[in-house]
Structure 1
């Protein structure tokens, strides 16, 4: 106990003892018992929250209570006694207050929660139920308690923090009675923190949690802020007004609460930007429109853009996401942000951020063109550098169209009618697809509601295609890629019918290029349109396709005339192309001999063409053309395939008429005068198709599916076909076989280093070196020479290796 307080209490105690001795001689022991029972600092001897014994009650009645229960009678001769009794009733309350203060400050640091102070106050109030210390002046004790509360709430930081947390928990549990008790206590304390502030804080917290539970994942509903606010008010408004002691018609308060709902809506939606603008678009459009009304300053929009780009980069702009899926996400992003900000100012920031990442994808132009033309999966060109998922591509194409407009594909396009006229090569008339393409390429967002004006001058509105073309380095690049794609499509075209969407897309691009400086012309940057010279050059490149289409149409007419000539095989449908306009590389290095029968028939067509077109000669494009074949097997199977001339020439060597049960890659290379690497590549194609089998280095026809070893077939399909002997294959487990591709991938650095140091090596030498140098833990002991040969052939196709004329492999320059 501090010395100053000890002196004050000691003085008070002496005064009380002196008065009692004069008033009631012989009561010293009873007085001592009473003071001990009252003292909160005597935990071992005080009241212990229990009623006093009978003798102690008599002492209280004698010294204090008789003055307040009507049993005390004043007489003249006892006036001095009355004065001493009055002093006693003043000294005893002072003594108790000093003891309470001392106990309170001694326990100050241990008061952590509201329950602690409630327990302490009950501890202080308990003796006053039995002894009337403050009967004459009740406010004295009330003010004393309030002053202690005031000090506690202002000085005990941990207590205040826990009090706020307790209020928050009670508000979440809807325990309003306890909240009222706490607020009443805070009001009586009169501290620096008002009960209204505490209550509004927990109300805002309740609104935050309420919004999170009711707004999370809900993107398709309109007026969601108003609906959520109304639900909250209906359920909690009566309790809130009672706690705040305000009117239920307090519109100023309801406006404040509604503004909190709006802020919470924006906060939650900003965190969910990716789900809104990509994952759930266009069903999330009602949410976007509501956000547009609430986003009132550029700072909020910038925060939204930053958080969106962080998520977009992590989930979309990574190598594991295919170009189709990434581009689909970006198209949704473009449409969604144009709905949010019709001015396009912030969309330009997004485009600038993602442009460099998209330019790293070599198949971006191909994906865009496929999607614009809405090609069916059967029309997808086989390109090893393009990973195309048909479902994702269809979803991307759907994003380019109005949902209420459908493309009516003519079923005759794929029926293979040999006598059909190439109507799709004409541009006359109005076609459904043309209307869709026209709307897509000229689409602009609704700008009826504009965000607050900015001092930055906005760029003119562009069509959706213009915005997407900003991803490319230049317009020339896009046009040239379209030209390449159209060329490949026409060269690989069966018969003479081209789907309408190809020709319609061409006409729309030509129209767009001819628009000059109109806003709908193709523009790469928002700053301006391309120069007139560039536009003329692009238009000239586009006109090359007109020449190609004309060649196809003329080929149809010429073919029909040739089929009238006797002696020509009517199963052949030649395509005659102009040398200067088809952007075709004649020297492809694919030199090989055709089967004799086919070679003779093609020579007949050449002679008839020279007769019909005097002065002109034909040159066969051996790497182009499609051959329809039907293969029959001993087990009764029939396989119908469309293959290249090269693939047809190879499989023809296994025809039953040739009586060649087995051939090696070297045999095929010699017979067809074909490069050995190309021969291996084509043979690998037939093995993957389960037409041929590889046994001990020899290729044979798989006459029965049941005769194929499943483990070998699996590895052949994965690019590492087995050429080991039959007993050697039986020793390999299925697990080892399934690990062959990964093992070969792991030894590639050893192969690369070997060829870098030694130049060119044959497969036998490479296999021998690898068995001697590759660590055992890589598992190369399970790899056969044929596995390695197939793997090296695949590396040749990937243009990482070259195969020399003597069958050796070397690094590609």
Structure 2
């Protein structure tokens, strides 16, 4: 019995060396197992088998497996060959497979299926722990390369049948094999690193078989490569190594491809919703390729699960759109689909809201809130932000946070109030519909309302604020997304806006007697709903003055009043109730400009008009304000082709009138004749100098230029004269005419003008339109920096230069902005 047991044991211990050999005696092995089982040594035999497998891994499998990567590990410049990896895992699967499933191990666990499965799990754990207890970085790079090419080859072969709901674009992408003139670029790239003659022979053999089948496309070996790729995954899956070895690589490949696809398909378009299409694409492409790798065993899919991949897609999309928020806001409402997609991502991706806020604030700081952007452009962006963020975040949290810097910056701009009022009352402004919206409460009423009152009829759709809202104390106008109220609350006071509207309304009427009263009355009624009737009472009186003035003026000019007979100058008069009109508009009779002495014929016409008014109103009379209003005049230089028409202020008309009496005036003499100061006169006479009508000689003497050729020369010379920021000319800067004969000086001036124009043209090309002050500040900053020999241009010099370009039809001046024609 002892002899039989020894023989049985010896036979069993020698059996592993016979695995896979043809002379393996199955009957002798079965008999030896029976003897060992009878003697109660079956468990010991099982422990011996596991120990022997462990020794075999360390002694044989490990060195042979890692030998496949030894060459590339020594030379990191060697390109990775997929076939090295295929060889390595094929050897591993074959070597371990002989131990995992053979007659000996089945005999040791006869009638113990569950125990055998557990034992095999222990063996696979040994493979995992002994073979891969330390993985070199180069090995991970190899695995990543294999799955990268595996994905490319899969796309080339299009092994997936997309369902009928998938887009044609995805089908086309999956059909794209990268072929160029019959040559598969993927195969060319992969096969360039093949150094195994066996694989080359197999490839050639495959080509011959395909040629025999009538397939002439012998340049693509993707089918063969895919076969090896699938076999490798099956081997890893059989050894329970797939997730540990390939999980990170598969997830990385999928993530990289999702990221690239999202950017490629979505980045350039805001006008289309992409999330649903991306979800369909992931199901039809990514999930099916993942199934090709992992099979149907969902337990293997941990790092590339459905939920993780969908979440990564949403994160990628949100990150891309977050970086584009400024452009999305500016392009609203065309970008509304992109905002809806991003809104969905905000609810699914934690932390995205904070990133969106930071992105918008950084973009505003870099691209909006600086001196190079006009106030009107900032307001336009502010309004676009309000509209866009209403779609993105109905709670108003993001709007309140990102717009706070805009509000603070707008407060520092002197023209903010005027720009807002102009935008609210201009017929062509996009804010007109906002002002016309039905509002049931004034701004003061909203400020005193409770949150429950604000919710009102929308209580069924009410939602709590997001958790990251914190204690913002958001304004009620933000919660309602009332654009007009938000703009007014920039200064947290309506008084400034009421005063500015009153000034703007007055200036419109004073500069344009034919202003549309009905339009202004409608604006006033809409503003009254917002601000309240008491605050706008003065504006109502101003409108009544305009209507009353038109009625009286029509009666007088129609000849109904006997005391009124025209002599030389027909007059249209605007009769104001001065106490209701804003200050600083020239309405104060004690102001210096009101002492202007008008020409006698004009005074005679004014006297006649006053008499007619007194006839209508009895005891009431008129106090005229000479500086205000406008004059339509025509200058005749002796021939029909030299007539010029102008619409100017009364003081400009009075100045040119004096040159009708004599062609040359001293500044002090002209000042006495008009009863104005020399400083005021010098500023006003510059208008006619710019037009080339009047020219200044030395000694404060001005002469009329009646020859238009000389007028053009005078305009060119005047561009070189200097003035300070207050437009007061200095005597020595007006000696230009004495030096105009220098040819070299003219060349230098022309060269400078060319440089000036080139710089200004480039500036307007990039920034579209700029104000005079902004052009001057940028020009002096970059063209005449500190330490430069160039002298900075003054306001007047630059204005003259730009006006010349306007006359040459190279620039257009509109609403205080210069732009290229």
SS of 2:659 mapped into structure 1: coil
- CA shift, 1:195, in A, is 2.1
Structure 2 CA distance for partners of 1:653 and 1:194, relative to 1, 3 Å: same
**Match in the other structure for 1:633:** 637
- CA shift, 1:225, in A, is 0.8
**Match in the other structure for 2:688:** 686
**Match in the other structure for 1:270:** 322
Name whichever structure is richer in helix by fraction.
2
**Match in the other structure for 2:219:** none
Structure 2 CA distance for partners of 1:789 and 1:216, relative to 1, 3 Å: closer
1:512 equivalenced with 2:525 (yes/no)? no
**Match in the other structure for 1:385:** none
**Match in the other structure for 2:266:** 215
Judge conservation of contact 1:692–1:700 (CA < 8 Å) in 2: yes
Equivalents in 1 of 2:266, 2:244: separation in Å? 32
**Match in the other structure for 1:550:** 544
1:711-726 aligned within 5 A: 711-712=716-717, 714-715=719-720, 723-725=736-738
Structure 2 CA distance for partners of 1:225 and 1:106, relative to 1, 3 Å: closer
Equivalents in 1 of 2:88, 2:795: separation in Å? 92
Equivalents in 1 of 2:623, 2:64: separation in Å? 114
Equivalents in 1 of 2:98, 2:268: separation in Å? 64
Counterpart of 1:337 (choices 376, 389, 395) is: 389
- CA shift, 1:108, in A, is 9.7
**Match in the other structure for 2:332:** 281
Structure 2 CA distance for partners of 1:544 and 1:102, relative to 1, 3 Å: closer
**Match in the other structure for 1:361:** 413
Structure 2 CA distance for partners of 1:123 and 1:98, relative to 1, 3 Å: closer
SS of 2:414 mapped into structure 1: coil
Counterpart of 1:166 (choices 141, 145, 152) is: 145
Instruction: Tell me the alpha carbon deviations over residues 209-256 of structure 1, each in whole angstroms, 9 at most, x when there is no partner.
Output: 11111111221123x2112332454455543321221289x9x95555
Equivalents in 1 of 2:789, 2:549: separation in Å? 57
Counterpart of 1:588 (choices 591, 599, 602) is: 591
Instruction: Tell me the alpha carbon deviations over residues 526-580 of structure 1, each in whole angstroms, 9 at most, x when there is no partner.
Output: xxxxxxxxxxxxx444111122222222222322343333434572011221232
Counterpart of 2:505 (choices 486, 492, 495) is: 486
TM-score by length of 2: 0.60
Equivalents in 2 of 1:105, 1:605: separation in Å? 108
User: Which shows bigger deviation, 100-109 or 589-598?
Assistant: 100-109
Equivalents in 1 of 2:56, 2:356: separation in Å? 68
**Match in the other structure for 1:567:** 565
Equivalents in 1 of 2:570, 2:552: separation in Å? 14
**Match in the other structure for 1:669:** 671
Judge conservation of contact 2:421–2:501 (CA < 8 Å) in 1: yes
Counterpart of 2:74 (choices 93, 96, 110) is: 110
1:303-314 aligned within 5 A: 303-314=355-366
- CA shift, 1:281, in A, is 0.6
1:491-502 aligned within 5 A: 491-495=510-514, 497-502=515-520
Equivalents in 2 of 1:316, 1:594: separation in Å? 48
**Match in the other structure for 2:430:** 398
Q: How many residue pairs get matched?
A: 589
- CA shift, 1:360, in A, is 0.9
1:311-710 aligned within 5 A: 311-375=363-427, 394=428, 397-398=429-430, 400-401=432-433, 453-454=465-466, 459=476, 461=480, 463-495=482-514, 497-514=515-532, 539-563=533-557, 564=559, 565-569=563-567, 571-585=570-584, 586=588, 587-590=590-593, 591-634=595-638, 636-655=641-660, 658-660=661-663, 662-694=664-696, 698-701=702-705, 703-705=707-709, 708-709=712-713
SS of 1:654 mapped into structure 2: helix
- CA shift, 1:357, in A, is 0.5
SS of 2:347 mapped into structure 1: coil
User: Which shows bigger deviation, 259-268 or 560-569?
Assistant: 560-569
- CA shift, 1:583, in A, is 2.3
Instruction: Tell me the alpha carbon deviations over residues 19-54 of structure 1, each in whole angstroms, 9 at most, x when there is no partner.
Output: xxxxxxxxxxxxxxxxxxxxxxxxxxxxxxxxxxxx
Q: In angstroms, what is the RMSD of aligned CA positions? A: 5.1
Judge conservation of contact 2:627–2:651 (CA < 8 Å) in 1: yes
**Structure 2: gaps spanning 5 or more residues:** 1-16, 24-54, 103-121, 156-225, 447-453, 728-732, 757-784, 801-821
Equivalents in 1 of 2:786, 2:261: separation in Å? 61
Structure 2 CA distance for partners of 1:734 and 1:577, relative to 1, 3 Å: farther
Equivalents in 2 of 1:358, 1:94: separation in Å? 74
Judge conservation of contact 1:400–1:440 (CA < 8 Å) in 2: no
Equivalents in 2 of 1:712, 1:240: separation in Å? 78
**Match in the other structure for 2:292:** 242
1:110-189 aligned within 5 A: 110=74, 115=80, 154-163=133-142, 165-167=144-146, 169-170=148-149, 173-174=152-153, 177=226, 180=230, 183=233
User: Which shows bigger deviation, 209-218 or 540-549?
Assistant: 540-549
